[in-house]
Amino acid sequence: MKPFFFVVWSLLISGICVAGIWRDDFEDKNTKEWKIFNEDPKVEKWWIDSGEAVGEIFLEGFMSLWTTGDLDWLDYSMSCRAKLGKEKNIFDTPYLGMTIFDRGEEDTRYLFFIEYANERATIAKATPENWSIIPFPFVAEKDKWYNLRATVNGDLLEFQIDDQVFSAIDPDPLESGQAGLIVSDAQARFDDVEIRGDDIRDGGPGKPRPVELKHKLTTTWSKVKIGQLNRFE
C-alpha cells in the first residue's frame, strides 16, 4: 500500500485568501442547519447551552459527528473554540475536534482531534476500507478552551491548536464534503464556528464579527518526515 501522507510539522501560519464565511455562534439555539450522523439517542446527544454547543457520549467507545454544510464544499477551513466538558470517570480516552470533507453515508472524511489521555493531536483519513492516522505530541489541559482550525487545500491538510500547526500531505485526496464537530467518550463544548472557502456562501445562524480579516495559509516547514501512516487494526 502506498503512503497516504507526507508529514509536515510546523509552528507558524498566515493564510491563502478565501472568500465566503459560514458562521454559528449558537446564541439563538437554532440547530436546524446541523445534523447528527447516524444518530442513536442511547449513545449521543447534541444541544445548545448558554450560547455554546454541547456534544455528549453516554456509552464508552463511541464517537459522534455533528455536521453541517454541503457535499460539494471543497478547499476550505473550519475553526471553532472547544474544550473538554464534564468528565466521565468510566471513560478513559476522551477526545474532541472537527471533521472536514465529510461524506456521511459514503463513510469518507478527514478528522482533526485532540486526544486528551494519549497526549496527542491527530490528523486522520477515514475510508470504508480503513482509518489512517498521523499523531503529533500535544498535551491538552482539561477544562481549558482551545482555538482550533482544520484546513484542507488540495492535498495539504493542517490542524491548528492555538499557535501550533500540525500538517500533512495526502497524495490521494478525498472528495469534497461537509464540515462538523466531533466528540468521543466525553462531554465537549464548542463555540464560534466559522467555515471559510471559495465554495462557501456567506451565511449561517451566527452574527458577523465587527472586523473581518483576510485569512491566509502558508506553512513554514520546520520539520519534515516521510513515511506510511499507521493503520487501525
Torsion of CA 132, 135, 141, 144, to 10 degrees: -60
What SS3 state is found at 106?
Answer: helix
pLDDT, tens only, 102-119: 999 999 999 999 999 999
Distance, CA of 120 to CA of 175 (rounded, Å): 27
CB 88 within 8 A of CB 187: yes
Rounded Cα distance, 231 and 233, in Å: 6
The answer to whether the CB of 44 falls within 8 A of the CB of 55 is yes
pLDDT in tens, 125-177: 999 998 899 999 999 998 899 999 999 999 999 999 999 999 998 999 998 99
Q: How much is the average pLDDT of 34-48?
A: 95
Fold of 6-38+45-226: Jelly Rolls (2.60.120)
Segments making up each domain of the chain, as ranges:
6-38+45-226
